[in-house]
Each structure stands twice: as structure tokens, then as C-alpha cells.
Structure 1
Amino acid sequence: MLDDTDRRILRQFQADPTASAAQLAERAGLTQATCWRRIERMQAQGIIRGTRAVIDWRALGYEVEVSLRVTLDKTQPRAFEDFAAEARKIPEVLEIQTFLGQVDARLGLVARDMTHYQQIYRTRILPLPHITDLDALMHIARIKHDESVPL
């Protein structure tokens, strides 16, 4: 799988995804060619899936963050698929997760303010198919948010 050199590269890449191959190589103690070959191999293996821009949605005027815990009617054969397909169409829904247990799905969504949230909730969330129960959790603070993997 991964050796110590790959882990060094990945630690540096996680710390600064905008770094060039030359910068990553220097920080990992490798030649640029070796570093680049290893990065390409890890991309081909699906270990590195890409880089992305992280946008601060609060800076864009979205002040409300809500987690909706959803229970679906599991007697319907396509309940998960139908629900997820429709939920994907709501631009304010940033995340959809499914679970095993009492809660079947969680939607993470943002809204400009409470009035906007109510409008989304009433016109876009409540009509989603196969919902039997819905519980809203208003986010107060994000204590930890880290997508880095311990390497």
C-alpha cells in the first residue's frame, strides 16, 4: 500500500494542497521527478482524488446552518434513491448522508437567514418523497472540522 515516502508526500499535500510538485518534493526530501511519479501513482490508485476550492459560505451571506435528520418510509422499495435524487436538486443542501439505524439520512443545508430557511423547509424539504419523520438541528458552533487523514 503506502510506504513512509508516500505518507510524507501526503502529509505535505494535506498541509498545502496548492504547493507545486517541486515544493512538495523539497518538503518531503525527494527529487521532483520521484515526487511527481508517486503523486501520479496515488492519483491513479484513487488515493488522491483531487483538490478543491473551499468556499466560506458565511462570507457569501449564508448565516444559518441546519442538519436535518430524516427517517424514510422503508416499505417503499426506492425510498432512499427517490429521496436522494430529489434532495440533490436543492442548491442549499450541501451534504447528504445515509445511515443504518433509527435515522436514515441527514441533510446538511445552509440558508441566508431564518426566513430563507423557513422558505426552503416548507417549499423544498417537506415535499421530498418518502419522509416519515424529520428533525432539525440548528448549528451553533463548529468545534472541530478537519478533513485531514492521520498519516
Structure 2
Amino acid sequence: MLDDTDRRLLRHLQADPGLTNAELSERCGLSAASCWRRIEAMTAQGIILSHEAEIDWAALGYGVEVSLRFTLDKTQPRAFDEFIAAAREVPEVLEIQTFLGRVDLRLLVIARDLPHYQEIYRDRILTLPHIADVEALMHIARVKSDETLPL
């Protein structure tokens, strides 16, 4: 179970993931060794999943983001597995989500521009197996993007 010190560590990590162990320990009033042990313990427990760099796609020339919602032909016994395996091979697919309900899966796809998206859609997306229906939702603006938990 997390104590107040663990929660304080997580709050600071969420606010600034780039903090060094020394900076984090100072902000939380811990020794560097104690801070490191707590972070390692929370990582081992699966509470902290990773330490990643967040990259701005637009700064690298990717200006188009599309959410594609799929309904699969579920008469095929391996439809989900085969679709997911093939979708993982498309480099522009950044995220794959599965759902219960009318929509089976959602893919987040990025492209440099609309002609590039059109190429990806025709040559890679529409060739994915077991598609019964697909709906494209063009991203216009990110209103809120926050993975910070209320700790």
C-alpha cells in the first residue's frame, strides 16, 4: 500500500518526469538513497510503468492525426488476433485499443499530411484483415490530455 511519502513522490514525478533522483529527494524531504529505493519498489510493484520521453509529432513533421474505429468480421475465429498482429506492423499506427460494443477496435494513426494519410489508409489500413466497417475521425484539437492521477 502507498503511504503519504510514496504519493508525494508520485505527485512530483507526474508534475516533472525529468527530475533527477537528487532533485526528487530534495523536493520530497528524503535522502537520495531512500528516494531511489521507494521509486525502485514502486517500479517493481508495477505502479510506475516507465520513464519515457514524450515527443511532439508535429515538430517532426506529422501534422495529421486520425482515429479509426473498426468493426471486424467476427465470423472468423481469429479475426481480432490477425487484425491486431497486422496493425502492429504499420509504423504510423501509434495506438491500438479494443472495445466491447458496436466498435471493436480503435487505431490512432499519424501522417505528415493528407496525401500521406491517404496513402497509408489505402495501402496499409484497408488491407488489414477482417474489416467489416471502418469510420475515420480526423483530429482537430486536443482539448485535454492529462494522465496525472489525483494523488
- TM tier, shorter chain? over 0.9
- Match for residue 105 of structure 2? 105
Q: Work out whether 1:119 is the aligned partner of 2:111.
A: no
Structure 1 unmatched runs, 5+? none
- Match for residue 23 of structure 1? 23
Q: Residue 46 of structure 1: SS of its match in structure 2?
A: coil
- Match for residue 63 of structure 1? 63
Q: Percent identity?
A: 70
Write the distance in 1 (CA, Å) between the matches of 2:54 and 2:116: 23
Letter in 1 for 2:6: D
- Match for residue 79 of structure 2? 79
Structure 2 unmatched runs, 5+? none
Write the distance in 2 (CA, Å) between the matches of 1:85 and 1:101: 21
Q: TM-score, normalised by structure 1?
A: 0.97
Write the distance in 1 (CA, Å) between the matches of 2:52 and 2:58: 18
Q: TM-score, normalised by structure 2?
A: 0.97
Tell me by how many angstroms 1:99 deviates: 0.3
RMSD: 0.9
Q: Work out whether 1:146 is the aligned partner of 2:127.
A: no
4+ runs of 1 displaced by more than 2 Å? none
Q: Give the length in aligned residue pairs.
A: 151
Write the distance in 1 (CA, Å) between the matches of 2:73 and 2:54: 35
Write the distance in 1 (CA, Å) between the matches of 2:40 and 2:2: 13
- Match for residue 3 of structure 2? 3
